């Protein structure tokens, strides 16, 4: 693969790499006939992002120079830590970089980034890569009942109210309003920290389509990269989602590029069957317990007895006294699938004392 990016495009590409670096530690380069796809996935596999650059974006785009020899275009994976510094210091780079050439050199297993700068200076970086399979997030966006589209400036103004440390937020949609609020795993934290809730009228959106009232909880941190990219270029952001447990997708489109971020959401314990298959018997047990107590906001305490290698579960009602011991936090991967979320009915309850 060989491509050449002119002047301002280098800055755009750099910002795209920055946005991807907020999600994953590795960057996939996938040269396709329809353009270059640059992807990443988070370490917990709960978020996947892809920037697709059409051939229009490049001054020159050759996905596979050896197509006559019957070789397939190679897909490669690079360490984000190696690629990100090349596109750092955007402010002076935009002044000094005239052109950037990216080449995948198969015989030497190297991706070559060549920056042609002012005054004739050239910077050449030969980075080692790992050959890999293409990375895809299977997400049928057209099947999503809910679609929102808003200007990036609006979204930027909204997320600025959430502290940078805020991991997850809940997006609730109904036919008469949209709410975005901070999500806390444990009710203790809700009381101690600052919670933010913003309500938006459907008129504020360029596109507002509600197929099904729902509340989806996803990681805001992983989305911030895409939002700041969209804001830099004043592009609208559209979002497709369904009910809790189904992934939410955010898209930014332009003539020359398309960016998607797909995030997993927390499951809603009220569902009859979990929308995501649970790995093994443990999660099914928890869900069964939660279903039984679904009318109350519940907390699940998991106790691991390492010597016996068993685990037991204790379900407490939120109205019970606060347990003195610390709660064990499940691993980030499991959390996505098994953690409780406040049920729609209990959202209206006052915070637990």
Partner 1 sequence: MPLSTQSQADIDQYILIASLDNARNLSNILKAISFRDHAIFSATQNGLKVTVEDSKCLQANAFIQADIFQEYIIKEDTVGFQVNLTVLLDCLTIFGGSTVPGVCTALRMCYNGYGYPLTMFLEEGGVVTVCKINTQEPEEPIDFDFCSTNVTNKVILQSDSLKEAFSELDMTSAVLQITMSPSHPYFRLSTFGNSGNAHYDYPKDSDMMELFQCTKIQTNRYKMSLLKPSTKALALSCKVSVRTDSRGFLSLQYLVRNDDGQICFVEYYCCPDEEVEEE
Determine, following the binding rule CB under 8 A, whether residue 232 of this chain makes contact with partner 1.
no
Determine, following the binding rule CB under 8 A, whether residue 71 of this chain makes contact with partner 1.
no
Determine, following the binding rule CB under 8 A, whether residue 196 of this chain makes contact with partner 1.
no
CB of 88 to partner 1, least distance (A): 8
Determine, following the binding rule CB under 8 A, whether residue 177 of this chain makes contact with partner 1.
no
Task: Please select the residue that binds partner 1; options are 45, 71, 72, 81, rule is CB under 8 A.
Answer: 81
Q: Which stretch binds partner 1 (CB under 8 A): 40-48, 99-107, 118-126, 298-306?
A: 118-126
Determine, following the binding rule CB under 8 A, whether residue 54 of this chain makes contact with partner 1.
no
Q: Which stretch binds partner 1 (CB under 8 A): 35-43, 122-130, 213-221, 276-284?
A: 122-130
Determine, following the binding rule CB under 8 A, whether residue 131 of this chain makes contact with partner 1.
no
8 Å CB contact between 123 and 114: yes
Determine, following the binding rule CB under 8 A, whether residue 32 of this chain makes contact with partner 1.
no
What is the phi/psi pair of residue 73, to 5°?
Answer: -60, 135
**How many CA within 13 A on the CB side of residue 49?**
27
CB of 65 to partner 1, least distance (A): 21
Determine, following the binding rule CB under 8 A, whether residue 120 of this chain makes contact with partner 1.
yes
Rounded CA-CA distance 37/103 in Å is: 14
Closer residue to partner 1 in complex, CB, 87/183? 87
CB of 126 to partner 1, least distance (A): 4
- Which residue in 1, 20, 3 sits closest to 228, CA to CA? 20
Closer residue to partner 1 in complex, CB, 26/231? 26
Closer residue to partner 1 in complex, CB, 84/141? 84
10 Å CB burial of residue 24 (0-12, 13-18, 19+) is buried
Task: Please select the residue that binds partner 1; options are 8, 43, 45, 121, rule is CB under 8 A.
Answer: 121
Residues sharing a CB contact under 8 Å with residue 212, sequence separation 6 or more, in sequence order:
145, 146, 242, 243
Determine, following the binding rule CB under 8 A, whether residue 122 of this chain makes contact with partner 1.
yes
Determine, following the binding rule CB under 8 A, whether residue 151 of this chain makes contact with partner 1.
no
Task: Please select the residue that binds partner 1; options are 96, 105, 270, 285, rule is CB under 8 A.
Answer: 96
Closer residue to partner 1 in complex, CB, 82/282? 82
Closer residue to partner 1 in complex, CB, 108/189? 108
Determine, following the binding rule CB under 8 A, whether residue 125 of this chain makes contact with partner 1.
yes
CB of 120 to partner 1, least distance (A): 4
Size of residue set near partner 1 by CB under 8 A: 17
Determine, following the binding rule CB under 8 A, whether residue 82 of this chain makes contact with partner 1.
yes
Task: Please select the residue that binds partner 1; options are 7, 85, 140, 323, rule is CB under 8 A.
Answer: 85
Task: Please select the residue that binds partner 1; options are 2, 18, 110, 224, rule is CB under 8 A.
Answer: 110
CB of 232 to partner 1, least distance (A): 23
What is the phi/psi pair of residue 83, to 5°?
Answer: -85, -40
Binding site for partner 1 (CB under 8 A): 79, 81-82, 85, 92, 96, 110, 119-128
């Amino acid at each position: 693969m060989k491509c050449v990016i002119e002047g301002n495009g280098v800055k755009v590409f750099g910002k795209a790499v920055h946005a991807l670096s907020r999600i994953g530690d590795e960057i996939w380069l996938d040269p396709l006939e329809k353009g270059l796809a640059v992807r990443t996935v988070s370490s917990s596999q709960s978020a996947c992002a892809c920037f697709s650059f059409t051939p229009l974006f490049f001054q020159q785009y050759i996905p596979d120079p050896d197509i006559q020899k019957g070789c397939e275009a190679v897909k490669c994976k690079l360490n984000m830590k190696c690629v990100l510094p090349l596109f750092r210091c955007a402010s002076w780079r935009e002044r000094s970089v005239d052109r950037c050439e990216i080449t995948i050199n198969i015989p030497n297993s190297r991706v070559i980034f060549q920056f042609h700068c002012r005054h004739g200076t050239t910077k050449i970086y030969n980075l080692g890569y790992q050959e890999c399979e293409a990375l895809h997030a299977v997400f049928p966006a057209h099947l999503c009942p809910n679609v929102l589209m808003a200007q990036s400036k609006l979204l930027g103004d909204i997320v600025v109210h959430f502290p940078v440390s805020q991991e997850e937020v809940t997006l609730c949609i109904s036919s008469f309003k949209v709410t975005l609020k901070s999500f806390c795993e444990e009710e203790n934290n809700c009381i101690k920290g600052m919670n933010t809730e913003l309500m938006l009228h459907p008129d504020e959106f360029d596109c507002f389509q509600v197929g099904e009232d729902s509340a989806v909880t996803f990681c805001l941190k992983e989305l911030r990269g895409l939002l700041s990219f969209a804001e830099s270029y004043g592009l609208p952001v559209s979002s497709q989602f369904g009910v809790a447990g189904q992934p939410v997708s955010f898209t930014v489109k332009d003539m020359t590029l398309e960016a998607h971020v797909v995030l997993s959401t927390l499951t809603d314990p009220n569902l009859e069957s979990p929308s995501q298959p649970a790995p093994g018997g443990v999660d099914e047990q928890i869900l069964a317990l939660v279903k039984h107590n679904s009318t109350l906001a519940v907390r699940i305490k998991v106790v691991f007895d390492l010597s016996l290698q068993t685990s037991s579960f204790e379900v407490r009602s939120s109205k019970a006294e606060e347990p003195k011991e610390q709660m064990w936090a499940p691993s980030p991967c499991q959390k996505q699938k098994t953690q409780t979320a406040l049920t729609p009915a209990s959202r209206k309850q006052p915070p637990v004392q």
